[in-house]
Amino acid sequence: MDADSPLFAIAVAAELAGMHPQTLRQYDRIGLVVPGRTRGGSRRYSMRDIEQLREVAQLSSEGMSLPAIARLLDLEDEVRMLRRRVTDLEGALRAERENRPGVRVFAAGVTGSIVTVPSGRRIRRSTEIVLWQPRAVAAEGEEPDAPDGPDRG
């Protein structure tokens, strides 16, 4: 069962969250916890919605205002989305590294365009191209090493 699957009718969701159904309707109206809807327009709550309702109840009982709770829930959603994005980007980076092993060399032209030169491939040198080889990334707080000068071979 997926945590985001809208399964529970409002009466069941209210019971699971320990709230009155009217409270759930109010939270839906103000956009605090918005459930899915059936074709007929009935509310259907997911397990994630139930968890949010419980969190709202806890925060409200501690004195947090509903607008502050709404902002907190928005930030939690953003964090979840960003974590998914980081995971996707890490996977893409890992795949890129597996598909292109070895040292990477880049050439920069007069216009500033950067071109990847495959490892082991030689290019014709001219005054318009400067070759740079990347160095190790500096530790946090240290100055990064200056790139090597032009490769004069």
Q: Tens digit of pLDDT for each residue in 97-126?
A: 777 766 566 677 667 777 666 666 666 655
- Chain-wide mean pLDDT for the chain? 81
CA–CA separation, 90 and 72 (whole Å): 27
Neighbours of 108 (CB within 10 A): 15
The better pLDDT of the pair 55, 3 is held by 55
Residue at token pair 């032009």: 150
**Per-residue pLDDT at 94 exceeds 50:** yes
The percentage of residues in the chain with a pLDDT greater than 70, rounded to a whole number, is 67
pLDDT at 113: 77
Secondary structure class of 106 (helix, strand, coil)? strand
pLDDT at 135: 57
pLDDT at 111: 73
**Per-residue pLDDT at 75 exceeds 60:** yes
Nearest one of 112, 97, 114, 105 to 133, comparing CA atoms: 105
**Per-residue pLDDT at 89 exceeds 70:** yes
Would the CA dihedral through 37, 42, 47, 52 be positive or negative? positive
**Phi then psi dihedrals of residue 103, to 5 deg:** -75, 140
CA–CA separation, 97 and 119 (whole Å): 13
Give the architecture (CATH level 2) of 10-97: Orthogonal Bundle (1.10)
The percentage of residues in the chain with a pLDDT greater than 90, rounded to a whole number, is 54
Is residue 57 within 8 Å of residue 17, measured between CB atoms? Answer: yes
CA–CA separation, 98 and 56 (whole Å): 45
CA–CA separation, 79 and 107 (whole Å): 37
Q: Tens digit of pLDDT for each residue in 22-52?
A: 999 999 999 999 999 999 999 999 999 999 9
Domain residue ranges of the chain, discontinuous segments joined by + = 10-97, 102-153
Residue at token pair 């956009």: 31
